Amino acid sequence: MAKNSGNDKLYYSISEVARMTGLEAYVLRYWEKEFPTLKPRKNRGGNRIYTSRDIELINRIHHLRTAEKLTIAGARSKLTMKKPSEEKTNMLNSAKTKTVVGQIRKDVTDLLKLFT
């Protein structure tokens, strides 16, 4: 379970996740259909609410699609494969780092809006 250090939110909206990951909201919605493990919950209003774990998965998918140049099917397959523990650990750490960087990017953008 992810730690909540006080600054971390438990849930993020699709627009927040889009800013954090640099992806468009329609891409996130499409990936939900293509990757069975990506299942953000929905609130009472029907809006998607993402957890830190969802965002880490999105960052892993993004890495597989861009850095490793895998197709959707290839990325889906690689996510479900058993991986050597070192490779899996490296991929998880990279995704967590990208999640933190995305949160910082979002926080900076929000702060800039306050001062402009």
Could you tell me the residue range of the domain that residue 104 belongs to? 14-115
The three-point CA angle 76-81-85 to 5° equals 125
Domain count, the chain: 1
Is 50 part of any domain?
A: yes
The three-point CA angle 62-57-24 to 5° equals 50
pLDDT tens readout for residues 43-64:
999 999 999 999 999 999 999 9
Is 90 part of any domain?
A: yes
Instruction: Specify the pLDDT at position 3.
Output: 44
Is 4 part of any domain?
A: no
Across the chain, mean pLDDT equals 86
Beta strands in 18-64 (DSSP E): 41-42, 48-49
Q: Looking at the predicted structure, is the pLDDT value of residue 89 above 90?
A: no
Instruction: Specify the pLDDT at position 92.
Output: 77
Instruction: Specify the pLDDT at position 1.
Output: 39
103 falls in which pLDDT band (50, 70, 90)?
confident
Is 54 part of any domain?
A: yes
Q: 25-34 and 14-21 helices cross at what angle (nearest 10)?
A: 100
Tell me the CA end-to-end span of the chain in Å, nearest whole number: 37
Is 98 part of any domain?
A: yes
Q: Compute the distance between CA of residue 91 and CA of residue 86 in angstroms, rounded to an integer.
A: 9
- CATH number, position 73: 1.10.1660.10
CB 52 within 8 A of CB 5: no
Q: Is the pTM of this model over 0.75?
A: no
Is 2 part of any domain?
A: no
